[in-house]
Structure 1
Amino acid sequence: MERLPNRTLENALSMLSAPRPILIATLLTLAAQPPVFGQLKEAEPVSEHIRLGESESGQFRVGAEITAKRGAVKNIRVMVAVPLECDEQQVRIAEENFTSNVESVDYRMLNGDGARQMVINIPYLAAGATATAAVTYDVTTRPVLPPEDDQTAKFKIPEKPDRSLRRFLTASPYIESRHGTIRKLQRSVLGDADEGLTDWQRVELLYDHVLESVEYVEGDDKSALQTLRDGNADCHGRSAVFIALCRAAGVPARMVWVNNHCYAEFYLEDDSGEGQWFPAESAGSRAFGEMPLARVILQKGDSFTVPERRRDKLRYATDFMEGTPVQGAGQPSAKFIREQL
């Protein structure tokens, strides 16, 4: 698949080439005071249903380097996605590197708990000057183990999904779950299934159909429909088809973005109505209801709305910058940082 860092940089630079200044919200200008930097919250307790393997720890560096190459710029605001706290991943700030012209660095969640963004505020950047805001995180990720075989029968497709799940039941960018082709395929795969199958087994049928009918081929990201037309795709296209089929069958499902890869998650509930997300690998070895590799998780979801870009539906919360050139100057350049150390 196309790597997230490359795509986000491309999107950000395309915004910088806009012919008109971009207006942003008024920023605090308390330059005489020390910078104020936001801290990350601890992850919520792990669900009783999720089984986790041995943890793997490492460091991940995220941030941006902004240079006023075409003259002075004011009111610069930069958004960068950072590693996500979730059941299987703990994140802690290890080191911060902020130049003095960075006024503040805060954090915010998008789509509830699907992505965390670092928001960098730079009130003024003189011509030729560079501002840097980079954070190194200690990230501890654990592989997700499959449920015990005798436990899978208790998981059901939710009859009355909670409001927070509804966005994972409808169409989203690259996941055309309402299209007739997707609905017809879902009915075809499950229509001939044994009536005695559990809901877990029915979702597994959809997963196996994708692995068997869509050849894995490295390439550009494809939508679910394009993948079905071509009969091949990388991790993104395969995940998109599986997610679309799940949603057409009433199963909440979403994309998980990790460093240089993505896979799917689907949601089922136990007899008491308590739900759990289960991963499904889309490349390499078959892995349904589990994630044997501990990769750094960046975002979960596939339809994001960012306050500064409310008209855009984004597959993931892209790195983004906006600012106002001073007296005819041009837009600054941005180098986004995302690297595993």
Structure 2
Amino acid sequence: MAKSLCYCFAFILAICGNALAQFGPVETPSAKLTDGTTFETGFTLQVSGQASGIAATFPVPANWDDQQAELVHQEIHPSSANLRFVNLDGTRQARVEIPRLSAGDTAKVLLRFRVARQAVSPPSEPQQLTLPASKDLDRDQRKYLLPSPFIESRDTKITGAANSLAMPNATPWEQVKAYYDFVHQNVKYENGPMKGAVTALDEGRGDCEEMTTLFVALCRAGEVPARTVWVPGHCYPEFLTKSNDGSDRWVAVEMTGNWPFGQSPEKRPILQKGDNFRIQGSRTPQHYVKQELAIRDYKGNSPPVVTWLPAPGKEPPRANMD
């Protein structure tokens, strides 16, 4: 008989998926929920032995100025499972607690959302955009000028690069495009583990995460508020500007491929905006809200099997994405 494995410590399974409050509009056509698509997220958990104290967390779509999201269906098993939603610095997180599973049980949580969003369109008059003064930023916006995990905007290598790209007579649009061009000229697209802005600059290679972190770091070093936007399998940056009427306007930028500055065909559901999250149970800020599952006590002859939906992976946007 196979000896039962007894885990009396927290068994944690964390898989990085690669991405409710919006601080100013993004320049895109208004999203209509009737034109939306179906997005499913959740997980299944199979156990070979008794498991207790199961807790799972994962990001879910929320409403933004450039997106509308509605939960239209849910499947939760066992019936003892408890589902609730919390807000984490502008990101909506699902939290599931399951008191107990018996040997051979399978838990399932499936959430189906109707999500409508539009592809990113460039501003109609980009040269007329201005940058908000630091003193005019509210508390939530001000954090997008500060360093965050993997975005080392005060590192001397980053500040040095930003200073070398400074153009005193340029418009804000031209200045930020200089950061964009610099990333494309100095970082070759290559899939790999998360490394951050400084390493991307040093190595000259990285995927959407590295290209985004370097762009955001350069923007922040140049006093341009910027943040990361996360969709399933991908991320991209956006930066904050002021329109002619004085309203805030976030401008999204696609760092992979050869998309024009300020334009992208991206239509996947937005899961997160930001890159400095305080997560329950973590002592340090996190770059993004991960898919995580923890089991307080597990007894079985094989490890538990967790399957996430959507599956982790990286996929840059394609033309005509649906």
TM range (shorter): 0.7 to 0.9
Cα distance change on mapping 1:127 and 1:21 into 2, 3 Å: same
- Match of residue 51 from structure 1: 28
Runs of 4+ in 1 over 4 A off after TM superposition: 17-20, 43-49, 53-56, 326-332
Aligned: 1:336 with 2:322: no
Paired residues for 1:254-333 under 5 Å: 254-270=227-243, 273-309=246-282, 311-325=283-297, 332-333=304-305
SS in 2 for 1:323: strand
- Match of residue 86 from structure 2: 108
SS in 1 for 2:192: coil
Alpha-carbon contact 2:26-2:65 (below 8 Å) kept: no
- String of CA shifts for 1:141-177, please: whole Å, max 9, x gaps: 111221112x542422433221112322122222111
Q: Report the Cα offset of residue 46 of structure 1.
A: 10
- Match of residue 148 from structure 1: 124
Q: Report the Cα offset of residue 281 of structure 1.
A: 0.7
1:301 aligned partner, one-letter code: G
- Match of residue 16 from structure 2: none
Instruction: Tell me which of 66, 69, 76 is aligned to 2:45.
Output: 66
Instruction: Tell me which of 203, 207, 216 is aligned to 1:230.
Output: 203
SS in 1 for 2:310: strand
- Match of residue 134 from structure 1: 110
Q: Which runs of 5+ in 2 are unaligned?
A: 12-19, 313-321
Instruction: Tell me which of 21, 45, 53 is aligned to 2:9.
Output: 21
- Match of residue 63 from structure 2: 85
Instruction: Tell me which of 192, 206, 209 is aligned to 1:219.
Output: 192
Alpha-carbon contact 2:26-2:66 (below 8 Å) kept: no
Q: Report the Cα offset of residue 66 of structure 1.
A: 2.1
Cα distance change on mapping 1:312 and 1:254 into 2, 3 Å: same
2-side partners of 1:312 and 1:75: how far apart? 23
2-side partners of 1:138 and 1:257: how far apart? 18
TM-score with structure 2 setting the length? 0.82
Alpha-carbon contact 2:226-2:238 (below 8 Å) kept: yes
TM-score with structure 1 setting the length? 0.78
Q: Report the Cα offset of residue 241 of structure 1.
A: 0.9
2-side partners of 1:165 and 1:214: how far apart? 28
- Match of residue 316 from structure 2: none
Aligned: 1:168 with 2:144: yes
SS in 2 for 1:184: helix
Alpha-carbon contact 2:28-2:66 (below 8 Å) kept: no
Alpha-carbon contact 2:24-2:250 (below 8 Å) kept: no
2-side partners of 1:120 and 1:75: how far apart? 11
Aligned: 1:240 with 2:213: yes
1:292 aligned partner, one-letter code: P
Q: Which runs of 5+ in 1 are unaligned?
A: 1-16, 24-42
Alpha-carbon contact 1:171-1:178 (below 8 Å) kept: yes
Equivalenced residue count is 299
2-side partners of 1:215 and 1:329: how far apart? 45
SS in 1 for 2:59: strand
Cα distance change on mapping 1:287 and 1:86 into 2, 3 Å: farther
Q: Report the Cα offset of residue 283 of structure 1.
A: 0.7
SS in 1 for 2:278: strand
